[in-house]
Amino acid sequence: MASSSGAAAGLMGTQAEMLLRGLVRDVPDFPRPGILFKDITPLLASPDGLRVAVSALAEQAALSSVDIVLAAEARGFLLGPALALRLNAGFALARKPGKLPHHTVEARYELEYGSDALQLHADALPAGARVLIHDDLLASGGTAKALCELVQRLGGSIVGCSFLIELGFLGGRERLLPHQVNSLLRYDA
């Protein structure tokens, strides 16, 4: 498993890492030619894979006192609530503009292939909340950086950033400094 340094940490052992890697399917040329998409739907469909992934994510974050797990739509919603439950924390969601019904704050960000924005309810975080940023994938870091900006604007404290998969060759980890970054699976090519 990848740690904050990006090196194998052996958090839940080689067997767990092999299980998770075996459940991530490579889909070439999706959503565009030249992209190798990491499909986690087989992992989500496997009770063992899902349990191991949520347990390992929670174990990585367990040393931090977490009040809220914050994730962006839609992929962060897959494991984020289960992670929050395991950490005895609340869950907050950031969505695309116009999707949340109450007063919001917004952060714009750049993607590998364009730009976008995320909104968070202005009252989503209690004052001084200790927030864990979570997503299924860390690529260039734009989405997670926008989440960090939203937390900071609302007066929260970021205890770390947690990812199922990290595409190390895209440099997202560096964009999130000085925050601690943990990922379960890292791909460097």
Q: Is 75 a catalytic residue?
A: yes
Contacts 24+ apart (CB under 8 A), 63-68: 64/130, 64/132, 64/159, 64/160, 65/130, 65/159, 66/130, 66/131, 66/132, 66/159, 67/126, 67/129, 67/130, 67/131, 68/92, 68/124, 68/125, 68/126, 68/129, 68/130, 68/131, 68/132, 68/156
DSSP, residue by residue, 42-63: HHHH-HHHHHHHHHHHHHHHTT
CA 135, distance to chain mean position in Å, is 2
Tell me which of 75, 110, 149, 153 is the catalytic residue: 75
Which listed residue (25, 51, 112, 174) is catalytic? 112
Reading the block at residue 125, the tokens are: 């975080």
Q: Decide if 112 is catalytic.
A: yes
- Positions annotated as catalytic residues are 75, 112
